[in-house]
Amino acid sequence: MMTRPQSLALVLKRLRALGQELDRPSLLTADEQTRLFGDGAALDSMGLVTLISDLEEDIYRECGARVALADEKAMSRLTSPFRRVNLLADYIIEVVNAG
């Protein structure tokens, strides 16, 4: 089981680490409303891939669950869970707690 504050903390921590690694200051101050993907977003496509790959490992370390965040279920949604930080934090809870 994972709580919403836990999932949000995982996403923000990972975004800040990526911000340092990729030298993108906007990621250092990311919050729930930060756009992850799309026009004016903080990440390009490979940055998003890196974030998802890192988060899957973070989730495993946090709660021992092996999950795939970018699967058919996520990709077929009308509102992508990868659009904003808050949507991604919600989606992580849904995937982890469904397992």
Partner 1 sequence: MPTAIITGSSEGLGKAVVLKLLTAGWHVHGFSRQPSEIAHPHFVDHRVDVTQVSSVQNAVAVATANNQGIDLLINNAGAASMNALLLTPSKVAENLMQVNYLGAFHCIQAVGKQMVRQRRGLIINITTVAVPLALEGEAAYVASKAALDALTQVAGKELSSQGVTVVGLGFGPVPTKLTQAVDGNKLQHLNERIGRPNGTSLQEAADFILEAIQQANPVPGSIRYLAQIQSR
* Tokens 């982890």 -> residue: 96
CB of 47 to partner 1, least distance (A): 9
Interface residues toward partner 1, by CB under 8 A: 46, 49-50, 53-54, 56-57, 66
Residue 40, CA atoms < 13 Å, CB-side half-sphere: 4
Q: Between residues 28 and 68, which has the closer beta carbon with respect to partner 1?
A: 68
Q: Between residues 1 and 46, which has the closer beta carbon with respect to partner 1?
A: 46
CB of 64 to partner 1, least distance (A): 11
- What does the block give as tokens for 46? 């490979």
Nearest to 4 by CA among 97, 98, 81, 66: 97
CB of 26 to partner 1, least distance (A): 19
Q: Between residues 73 and 86, which has the closer beta carbon with respect to partner 1?
A: 73
* Phi/psi at 84 (5° precision): -135, 160
